[in-house]
Structure 1
Amino acid sequence: MAKGLKKTVVLVGMMGAGKTAVGKAIAQILNVPFLDSDAEIELAADRTIAEIFERDGEPFFRTKESQVIERLLNDERCILSTGGGAYMRADNREMILEKGVAVWLKVDLNILWQRVRHRNTRPLLQTANPYETLRDLAQTREPMYAKAEIVVEAEPGLSVEQMAQKVVDALVAHGGIVKDT
């Protein structure tokens, strides 16, 4: 059965939380569009996030990220995956609260590390001790992620599809987000 959204569902959480993979699966279950703010930034800039960080710096990237998120929130309702740092900015949280619903994909640090440790596409982890950096980022960011209206905890062994269904169930239980069409 096709479903619809009353508001855009914005996935927030750490790098490696599965925002893109789970987001695509949620969009498929609900038969709605999926968008990724990082992919939209790369498309607009015609360069990777890592290249933007290197050339223009993180503050420039965060400004562009906010602009893209605002544009996407004003477009068609969808499942929107955001970069791990996007929800740290108060103006982004306010936009998301006003025009959508934030869903924190809460994932244990050890699972995150297993997912990101062999990737060189994470500019913030290009440090002498990437695990420590990831841990510090999680400690800093989790209090902000906890402000999300819906929190869905990952469990070891859950497939992408099972996690997506867990999010859909949380959206339905929350009320006012998913509608039958």
Structure 2
Amino acid sequence: MQRNIKSNSPHAPVVLVGMMGVGKSTVGRRLAARMGLSFVDADEEIEKAAGMTIAEMFERYGEAHFRDGERRVISRLLDGAPKVIATGGGAFMQDDTRALILEQAIAIWLDADIDILVDRVSRREGRPLLKDRDPREVLMQLAAVRNPVYAQAPIHVKSAAAPHEAAVDKIMEALNQCR
């Protein structure tokens, strides 16, 4: 069931959180289009602000420096205007960033099984946390630590090995139930 609910668009930003490879950016773009809102990829905004890739930031300055910049960019994006924002996998793990998102946005945990994540991350290079490491092992370790934190998001949507539109449908249904 696909319908455009522009008139029911949220009054706050919708922020997608979850593991790398879950499809936050792809689903976010489609969700924004369905809702008639703009879409912003926080990772792309961080790279623009820094003038370098995330991988370069991790390599040159370390994760702590990157996370500080990430928090500042997400804070700027949470300007109150309705939009859909996709965050990096670690953004919601940072206490200050998570507090901003939970206070100023509608947080949605987009979740998927490890097998799906492994398949999806293998399609794209440039993920600093996977550099020279076994993706399945890293993702399992990250999920063990991160999933309890992601669970603080008030909406939890499970993504399956299906077209991304299926995840968009689930998010739309969850948002409609929250109204």
- TM-score relative to the length of structure 2: 0.93
1:76 shift after superposition: 2.4
1:9 partnered with 2:18: no
Task: Report the residue type matching 2:178 in the other structure.
Answer: H
What amino acid is aligned across from residue 87 of structure 2 in structure 1?
A: T
Identity %: 45
Q: Which contiguous aligned blocks of 4+ residues in structure 1 show a shift greater than 3 angstroms?
A: none
Alignment equivalent of 1:18, drawn from 6, 16, 23: 23
Alignment partner, residue 115 of structure 2: 110
Please tell me the residue identity of whatever aligns with 1:137.
L
CA deviation string 1:109-167 (max 9, x = no partner): 000000002432100001332321121011111010011100001123x2111211211
Residue type of the partner of 1:91? D
Give the aligned partner of residue 92 of structure 1.
Answer: 97
Partners of 1:50 and 1:126 in 2: how far apart? Answer: 9
Query: Residues 41 and 162 from structure 1, CA distance in 2 versus in 1: closer, same or farther, beyond 3 angstroms?
Result: same
Note closer, same or farther for the CA distance 1:140–1:160 as it changes in structure 2 (3 Å cut).
same
Q: Tell me if structure 2 keeps the 8 A contact 1:127–1:133.
A: no
Whether 1:53 and 2:58 are equivalent positions in the alignment is yes
In structure 1, C-alpha distance between the alignment counterparts of 2:144 and 2:25, rounded to whole Å? 22
Q: Give the Cα–Cα distance (whole angstroms) in 2 for the partners of residues 135 and 126 of structure 1.
A: 15
Q: Give the SS at the match of 2:40.
A: strand
TM-score, length-scaled by structure 1: 0.92
Pair 1:75–1:101, CA change in 2 (3 A): closer
1:138 to 135, 143, 151: 143
Q: AA paired with 2:39? A: F
Q: Which residue of 1 aligns with 2:37?
A: 32
Deviation (angstroms), 1:37: 0.6
Q: Which runs of 5+ in 1 are unaligned?
A: 176-181
**1:65 match: secondary structure:** helix
Unpaired segments ≥5 residues, structure 2: none
Match of 1:44 in 2: 49
